[in-house]
Structure 1
Amino acid sequence: MAHDQVVQPSNHVVRQALRSDVGTVARVLAEAFDADPMMRFVVPSTRYRKRLTALFAFETLLSPQGSWVAVADGEIAGAALWGLPGARPPGFWPTLRYSRYLLRAFGTGLPAALRSFRVIEDAHPASPPHWYLQTLGVARPGRGVGGALLRDGLARADAQGLPAYLESSAPENVAIYERYGFRPAREIVLPGGPTLTAMWREPVRGGQ
């Protein structure tokens, strides 16, 4: 599926992200996650926003087929990064190619950050195949952008008859995801840090 567009209600257009969108996607996600408990825990506070932007640039570059953006009034207003079922991990060379972004994000704090990410990864269900919502964020909440992105991704999962999975690092978002069919599956406790809620959603026949 190459850069297809899905027009949502409320005049949002959701499409796959282009390589030229990476900088904008990273900035939008950094704005959205500025106060996120997990990001505040793993990303050093010095030059925090720049570090967070570098981290999201890294994540977007490593998932070109799973990155979608919502365009509102001609501007990218939000983004969703999905891990696609059956997709292979990025591998050594792509990770090495973009490792400078990780170093910009964490500096000497990289080993500690990787330990936290490993805890989250170890809790990730290995089966059955599923869509994994790694990141979803909008620059300005309240315009329906997040809902448009979420509906778009879940419609794709439903069309394949596949479940979806996410970790919510913000407790107030759990109820929002429940409205889209997700259910809490377990808690993931980061040593010395916040607790995340792992959530699972079974596919809906015939769409939502």
Structure 2
Amino acid sequence: MQASRHVVRQALRSDVGVVARVLAEAFDGDPMMRSIVPSNRHKDRLTSLFAFETLLSPHGSWVDIVDGEIAGAALWGLPGAGQPGFWATLRHSPYLFRAFGRGLPKAMRAFRAIEDAHPPAPPHWYLQTLGAAVPGRGVGGALLRDGLARVDAQGMPAYLESSAPENVKIYERFGFRPTGEIMLPGGPSLTAMWREPVRGGQ
């Protein structure tokens, strides 16, 4: 059987709907998402949440194309990009309300805990979200290698929070090291991870 070919490219505005559905599939059983996203119409709500996140990361979104279809996506916060502006957030806020409904205050408390734990310095790339619709096809690895090649080319560190304990070992294989636990109010904990740049890439 011929191995699938992975083509990683920057996401287009027209990809947002597919990216959101792929990430919703990837995070359907995620402990954090199960904690903060209401259970009724859970996957639909996840799709709205990831549409919101992707729309706010127009320059930091990459997709992995496998056999002609988007199989996974990575959303990166770029160094120096700062927080999304007020008007951009307001413009896309209906997605956020569709995702959380009355559960929005609880979700915002969780996001604030994550933001408060985020290291302010030195400048770094932030892997906000990484997911594949179908695990075991090498999609996550392809997206990580592609993203970290850019990170290393700039000689910069990278940071992420792992919401799934089983993924910590995977990230460690790519050079990330745990730096602490982030306790979400009334929810699970996340593992904060940091990676120093690698000379000459992976």
- 2:17 corresponds to which residue? 23
Tell me if 1:140 matches 2:134: yes
Q: Give the count of matched residue pairs.
A: 200
- Among residues 183, 193, 199, which one is paired with 1:189 in the alignment? 183
Cα contact 1:10–1:144 (8 A) shared by 2: no
Q: How far apart in 1 are the matches of 2:4 and 2:157?
A: 26
- 1:6 corresponds to which residue? none
Q: How far apart in 2 are the matches of 1:145 and 1:155?
A: 16
SS of residue paired to 2:187: coil
Percent of pairs identical after alignment? 81
Aligned ranges for residues 151-190 of structure 1 at < 5 Å?
Answer: 151-190=145-184
Tell me if 1:114 matches 2:108: yes
Tell me if 1:200 matches 2:200: no
Q: CA deviation at 1:192?
A: 1.5
Tell me if 1:130 matches 2:124: yes
Question: Which stretches in structure 1 are left out of the alignment for 5+ residues?
Answer: 1-8
Cα contact 2:164–2:190 (8 A) shared by 1: yes
Aligned ranges for residues 2-13 of structure 1 at < 5 Å?
Answer: 11-13=5-7
TM-score (norm 1): 0.95
TM-score (norm 2): 0.98
Q: CA deviation at 1:10?
A: 5.5
Cα contact 2:109–2:185 (8 A) shared by 1: no
Q: Which amino acid is the alignment partner of residue 149 of structure 2?
A: A
Question: Which stretches in structure 2 are left out of the alignment for 5+ residues?
Answer: none
Q: CA deviation at 1:88?
A: 2.7
Q: How far apart in 1 are the matches of 2:156 and 2:191?
A: 20
Q: CA deviation at 1:90?
A: 1.2
Aligned ranges for residues 26-37 of structure 1 at < 5 Å?
Answer: 26-37=20-31
Could you list the structure 1 runs, at least 4 aligned residues long, displaced by more than 4 angstroms after superposition.
none
